[in-house]
A = this chain, B = another copy of it.
Amino acid sequence: MAIPRAARTQRRTRIQEEKEEIILEAALDVFSVSGFRGSTIDQIAEVAGMSKPNLLYYFRTKEAMHRALIDRVLFTWLEPLRAFDSNGDPESEIRSYIRRKLEMARDFPRESRLFANEMLQGAPHVEDELRGPLKSLVDEKAQVIRAWAQAGKIAKCDPYHLIFSIWSTTQHYADFDVQVRAVLGDEHSGEGRFEDAARYLEQLFVDGLRIRQG
């Protein structure tokens, strides 16, 4: 008789590892587009190429699948901020943080959209993680930025809103990809748009628009 997944205590078999990977991959495809409520187990099963009861053998509910996915994404999603080095040079740290976040938007757009979907719905499944680990990490890095500002290395500015603005500008290229492509037109919506975005954003954050009064 099959043992329900949650009750298993022994280490996972090869098949379990493989299949769970396939399922989460398919779930990412579906959840990232339609959100939790808008996605169905049948859709995920079809993308994964297996039967619905087979999915439910590995994840007992739709919510468990979403949970596993969100947990994994949430961890890797904060990798660039964790890599933000307090001892580094302010300019190069901010530049490379922007670059890394932009690369993630380019290489992992589904992960970005999954997260965005969850935020739009009011983060019903991850609010604890936001108030806990996320807030702690941001608090820590905000202190670093504040110290830089007080040392005169960068302009005085609210470090939290600085982080928000880096998040939003970079993730925009994943979450609003359709809009970006539509506005840029077919000519400029190739992969080169990430180069252009990187160049623009680095300039924006380092120099601003250097507006001169007419």
- Residues of A whose CB lies within 8 Å of any CB of B are 32-39, 89-91, 94, 113, 116-117, 119-123, 127, 130-131, 134-135, 138, 152-155, 157-158, 160-165, 167-169, 171-173, 175-180, 182-185, 188, 196-197, 199-201, 203-214
B121 touches A154 (CB 8 A): no
Q: CA separation between A167 and B200, bound complex, in Å?
A: 15
B161 touches A197 (CB 8 A): yes
Q: CA separation between A23 and B81, bound complex, in Å?
A: 43
Task: A127-B182, A154-B210 are known; give 8 further A-B pairs, CB within 8 A.
Answer: A33-B121, A34-B35, A116-B176, A120-B120, A157-B203, A165-B204, A167-B172, A206-B208
In the complex, which residue of chain B has the Cβ closest to the Cβ of A214?
B153
A165 touches B161 (CB 8 A): no
Chain B nearest Cβ from A33, distance in angstroms:
6
A208 touches B207 (CB 8 A): yes
In the complex, which residues of chain B have a beta carbon less than 8 angstroms from the beta carbon of A134?
A: 179, 182-183
Q: CA separation between A46 and B188, bound complex, in Å?
A: 45
Chain B nearest Cβ from A84, distance in angstroms:
15
A178 touches B127 (CB 8 A): yes
